[in-house]
């Protein structure tokens, strides 16, 4: 079959070269090549089972498709730029190998449902990969937490010293944010776990196809319920990129802190040489470029989301060629997230933590003032009165260049007669930390519970990924069996 014969019929003339260049998606959808062949194998095996095409023709097509997969695995499958997309390339390769019988593969389907199915299979794989990368990053932070449940640092609000916390609790805050990012991606995967194949162009097909058979063969739990929705909706793509945006934003927040912490003003950490760069002119510099690039590329992920939302907002049902533009943004955003999580995990796993610098910083900014107010409340003072009394004591300390723990009992009693000698037991920052035993708090007992919970969540996702991967691999093995 000639290239022109693939999509000819209604047209007298061939496609102009500029039209081909403008409409080609080959540079992007080549990533779907393997999924396209697997979808075709499921489809033709169903056509055979349903006696829609002759058994001999189906077997010939199956062998041809398996041969194409083999060529892909060996790196021997070459695409032809004169064909507008990967789907056409594969069909042309098939018909070149086995002749006109290859054209029977397209019975009962359209490129619309074919592409929608390929994309869902692709998304399934990159989501599972991204979740593993995010969990690897979370584990690197969790290990820091395990090693530093006694490392005290300032907790911040408004970038001002607020209350003393442990580095363990601070790291665990990021771990739980990342854990939600991973969960969001898996939740998105649950909603796209239906197979569009068999929806055809938009209205379904007159052939007696078995959509449940193809869905099961490709590892989906069921077929999509509406053929128009199947070929026109891309909420699965939008949701994936939204989840990627949230993950990128959360990683950017980590990077911002690491950049600040590695500065001379903070001096809380030093990044490993392997994940920093020098200056072209200033020999003393050690720049946190990896963290800065992850922070910077977050804008591209958010931009991908805005691009897709803008593309989708005005599309009527059902398929429109605009939808060709859905693949680049999702591929780009998921690559940025996976690469960023991988690199950030390496930065965190290798950085040196300056515990002494963190502890020195805790001594600034009256970080134990809230504990003094809480102490007064335990003595029966209303919190608002306690708040005012401690505020006055802080002002006194600033004027007299003292810290709260430097005040004498007489000075304390000048602000509240309820203060007694036991006040000195609650002012040390270690005591401030360990008194916060509430669930989710910063005490070592509380952070130990957080670490245990987070490990359990990661292990659950790991098991989910293992099961999903096994199912997918079994589907591929079954589809690639010779006839």
Element housing 222 (H / E): strand 222-223
CA trace torsion 304, 305, 308, 310 (10° rounding): -110
User: 3-state class of 441 per DSSP?
Assistant: coil
CB-based contact 41:94 (threshold 8 Å): no
- Other CB atoms closer than 10 Å to residue 238's CB: what's the count? 19
Do the beta carbons of residue 400 and residue 366 sit within 8 Å? no
Residue 376 has a CB neighbour count (10 Å cut-off) of: 22
Q: Tell me which residue has tokens 């199915």.
A: 117
Q: Is residue 2 flagged as an active site residue?
A: no
Q: At what angle do helices 235-261 and 327-350 cross, to 10 degrees?
A: 30
How many helical (H) and strand (E) elements, i.e. helices and strands, does the chain have?
20, 6
DSSP string, 175-203: HHHHHHHHHHHHHHHHHT-EE-TT-TTTT
Q: Which of 2, 18, 158, 438 is catalytic?
A: 158
Backbone angles phi, psi at 104, to 5 degrees: -75, -15
List of residues 6+ apart from 50 with CB closer than 8 A: 207, 208, 209, 210
* Cβ neighbours of 313 (radius 10 Å): 7
- The Cα–Cα gap between 53 and 55 comes to 6
Distance between CA atoms of 34 and 55, rounded to whole angstroms? 24
Q: Are 65 and 42 in contact (CB under 8 A)?
A: no
Nearest to 41 by CA among 56, 71, 61, 67: 61
Type and span of the H or E element at 116? helix 111-147
218 token code pair: 């490709």
87 in active site: no
Q: Which of 130, 173, 167 is nearest to 152 (CA)?
A: 167
Single out the catalytic residue among 8, 70, 263, 279.
Answer: 279
Q: Residue written as tokens 């003339």?
A: 13
CA distances from residue 454 to 4, 96, 147, 246, 254 in whole angstroms, order as listed: 57, 54, 15, 19, 18
**Do residues 404 and 397 lie in contact, with contact meaning Cβ atoms separated by under 8 Å?**
yes
Residues classed as catalytic: 158, 279
């Amino acid at each position: 079959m000639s290239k022109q014969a693939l999509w000819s019929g209604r047209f007298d003339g061939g496609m102009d070269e500029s039209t081909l260049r403008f409409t080609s998606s080959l540079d992007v959808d080549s990533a779907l090549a393997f999924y396209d062949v697997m979808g075709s194998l499921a489809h033709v095996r169903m056509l055979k089972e349903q006696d829609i095409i002759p058994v001999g023709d189906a077997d010939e097509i199956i062998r041809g498709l398996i041969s194409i997969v083999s060529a892909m695995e060996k790196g021997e499958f070459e695409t032809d730029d004169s064909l507008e997309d990967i789907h056409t390339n594969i069909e042309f390769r098939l018909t070149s190998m086995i002749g006109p019988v290859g054209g029977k593969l397209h019975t009962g389907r359209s490129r619309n449902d074919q592409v929608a199915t390929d994309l869902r299979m692709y998304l399934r794989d990159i989501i599972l990969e991204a979740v593993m990368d995010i969990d690897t990053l979370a584990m690197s932070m969790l290990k820091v937490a395990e090693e530093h449940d006694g490392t005290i640092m300032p907790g911040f609000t408004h970038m001002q010293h607020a209350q003393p916390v442990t580095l363990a609790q601070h790291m665990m805050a990021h771990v739980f944010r990342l854990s939600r990012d991973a969960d969001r991606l898996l939740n998105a995967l649950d909603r796209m776990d239906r197979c569009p194949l068999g929806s055809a162009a938009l209205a379904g097909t007159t052939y007696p196809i078995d959509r449940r058979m193809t869905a099961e063969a490709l590892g989906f739990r069921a077929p999509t319920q509406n053929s128009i929705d199947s070929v026109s909706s891309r909420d699965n793509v939008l949701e994936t990129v939204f989840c990627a945006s949230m993950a990128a934003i959360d990683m950017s927040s980590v990077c911002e802190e690491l950049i600040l912490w590695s500065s001379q003003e903070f001096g809380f950490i030093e990044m490993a040489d392997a994940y920093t760069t020098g200056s072209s002119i200033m020999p003393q510099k050690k720049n946190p470029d990896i963290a800065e690039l992850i922070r910077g590329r977050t804008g591209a992920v958010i931009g991908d989301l805005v691009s897709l939302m803008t593309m989708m907002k005005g599309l009527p049902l059902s398929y429109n060629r605009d939808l060709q533009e859905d693949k680049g943004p999702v591929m780009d955003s998921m690559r940025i997230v996976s690469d960023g999580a991988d690199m950030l995990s390496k930065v965190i796993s290798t950085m040196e933590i300056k515990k002494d610098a963190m502890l020195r910083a805790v001594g600034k900014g009256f970080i134990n003032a809230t504990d003094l107010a809480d102490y007064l409340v335990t003595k029966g003072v209303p919190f608002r009165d306690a708040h005012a009394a401690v505020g006055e004591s802080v002002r006194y300390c600033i004027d007299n260049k003292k810290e709260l723990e430097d005040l004498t009992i007489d000075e304390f009693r000048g602000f509240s007669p309820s203060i007694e000698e036991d006040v000195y037991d609650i002012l040390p920052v270690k005591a401030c930390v360990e008194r916060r035993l509430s669930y989710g708090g910063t005490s070592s007992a509380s952070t130990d519970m957080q670490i245990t919970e987070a490990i359990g969540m990661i292990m659950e996702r790991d098991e989910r990924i293992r099961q999903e991967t096994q199912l997918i691999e079994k589907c591929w093995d079954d589809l690639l069996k010779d006839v």
